[in-house]
Amino acid sequence: QVQLVESGGGLVQAGGSLRLSCAASGLTFSNYAMSWFRLAPGKEREFVATTTWWGGITSYADSVKGRFTISRDTAKNTVYLQMNSLKPEDTAVYYCALRRSGATTDRAAYDYWGQGTQVTVSS
C-alpha cells in the first residue's frame, strides 16, 4: 500500500520561506512522478510543481516559478518543495501526489495523494 506523508507546513510572514517534505512508502514500482498541488479556500486544487523520479525533470506553475523549487532524495523516497518569497496568495493546503507514469499537471491523473499540510502566509 503506497502512502504519502507530508510535513513542514506552518505559519510564516510574507517574504519568508518554508520547506515541505513528502515521504513515500510502500513503493513496488520504479517509474513514477511526484508533484505538489494546493487547495485554497474557494478555489479548485491547482498544480504547483512536479518532478520525474528518475532524471529529476521538473516543471512549475507560472505563479510559483522562480520562487519554489521541487527536489527529490531517491535514497529516502522523499520529495521536497522549497518555498521562498512567500505571498499571502500562497496560503493553501499543500498536497503531495504520485503518478505511476510520467509527470503531468492534471490532478485527475494521479494515483496516490497525501493528507495535506497547511501553509498560511500572513501579510
Q: What is the mean pLDDT of residues 11-21?
A: 98
> In Å, how far from its chain's centre is CA 9?
11
Write down the mean pLDDT value for the chain.
95
Question: With 90 as the cut, is the pLDDT of residue 33 above it?
Answer: yes
- When computed from its CA atoms, the radius of gyration of the chain, rounded to whole angstroms, is 13
Using the CB atoms, write b or e for 67-104: b if 16+ within 10 Å.
Answer: ebbbebeeeebbbbbebeebeeebbbbbbbbbbeeebe
Q: How far apart are CA 68 and CA 86, in angstroms?
A: 9
